[in-house]
Structure 1
Amino acid sequence: MTFRAPQDPAHIAEIDLRYKYFAVNVEMTVDGTEIISKRRFVTLMDLALSFAHVRKRIASAEDAAFGFTETEEVIHLRCDGDQVAMSSSKHPWQVSADREELLDAIAAFLSDANSCLIAEFPRLGENPALRNISRG
């Protein structure tokens, strides 16, 4: 991960954390289909906060979506019983994942993101935006 170190992580506004700091390469694949390419940089806080919201909605059997600051692509997630169908606004693929497995994977990602950020910048643990990730 590549981090741009903020001055005082405890007091940085959520919007700045989402869009200015913590560019990382993340990969998300489902059944061999690349949902998020590891060749793409995303801002970790933006993705983590989006995933926290997605996790809450999917856990409640509601549809969800997340996008990327760098592109216009939106990933749509539609609950269908024990499955979650995923599709892209920019690519022709459509895949499904087991709802519980997806929820577990998102929870693990959020935990790892939280741990990594606090390990690098301990005062970030005092920032309300990071607490929103840990509640996700």
Structure 2
Amino acid sequence: MIQFSFETPSPESPWWQKTWDSVYRTEPATIDEMSLRYKYFGVRPRLVVDGVAVMSGESHVPLVDLALSLRFALHRLSSGEDAAIGFTESDRVIHLQQEERVIAITSSDSEWRTTVDSEALKASFVTFVREAHSRLIAHCPELACNASIQKLREIA
């Protein structure tokens, strides 16, 4: 079983003000990809695969960075290649290795290893990226014109 979601900070939170509301002090349509990956839209992602907390939801990560990384990983997995998901704020890497009809998931900073049905994992990535895109556009409709955010719309 796969549970993949993200939690946004509360609007009263300094993290919300710093990473979500700060988009209104810019021209959202022209924010470059690196800024979106590092400065904006902090969330707490949670990915649990068969009881293993691949992403615990304890730390904040930039939503756009994670969604774009998932999009790239999905492309690699769909092409039959192995993939990895990195994080801008740490050296941690989640490795995704193809093994027949399953994908083995490991982390550079943990000893656990789990496997999951390949199609189920890819479907969870698609759902996550679509939800990220939807939440970003709902928060700031001007982001619909941003080239990096448009990449999220172009998911399988």
TM-score bin, normalised by smaller chain: over 0.9
Q: Does 1:56 align with 2:75?
A: yes
| Contact 1:65–1:77, Cα closer than 8 Å, also in 2 | yes
CA contact (8 A) 1:52 1:135 kept: no
Query: Residue 111 of structure 2: SS of its match in structure 1?
Result: coil
Q: Does 1:18 align with 2:18?
A: no
Which structure 1 residue ranges, 5 or more long, are not aligned?
none
Counterpart check, 1:113 vs 2:132: yes
Cα 1:4–1:37 change in 2 (3 A) is farther
Distance 1:5 1:97 in 2: 38
Residue 116 of structure 1: SS of its match in structure 2?
A: helix
1:30 maps to a residue whose letter is V
2:87 to 39, 64, 68: 68
CA distance in 2: counterparts of 1:40 and 1:28, whole angstroms? 12
Whether the 8 Å CA contact 1:86–1:95 is kept in 2: the answer is: yes
Question: Which residue in the other structure is 2:56 paired with?
Answer: 37
Paired with 2:31 and 2:75, the residues of 1 have a C-alpha distance of 25
Q: Are residues 1:123 and 2:142 paired?
A: yes
**TM-score normalised to the size of structure 2?**
0.84
**In 2, are the aligned partners of 1:10 and 1:125 still within 8 Å (CA)?**
yes
Q: Secondary structure at the match of 2:22?
A: coil
Tell me, in whole angstroms, the C-alpha distance in 2 between the residues paired with 1:61 and 1:135.
20
- Give the match's secondary structure for 1:113: helix
Letter in 1 for 2:38: Y
Q: Note the C-alpha offset of 1:20.
A: 0.3
After TM superposition, the runs of 4+ consecutive aligned structure 1 residues lying more than 3 A away are none
RMSD in angstroms over aligned alpha carbons?
A: 0.9
Q: Report Cα offsets for 1:28-61 as digits up to 9, x if no partner.
A: 0111111111111010000000000001111111
Q: Residue by residue, what CA displacement relative to the aligned partner does 1:48-84 show, whole Å, maximum 9, x if unpaired?
A: 0000000111111110001111211111100112100
Percent of aligned positions that are identical: 38
Partner residue, 1:4: 21
Equivalent in the alignment of 1:92? 111
Match of 1:82 among 72, 77, 101: 101
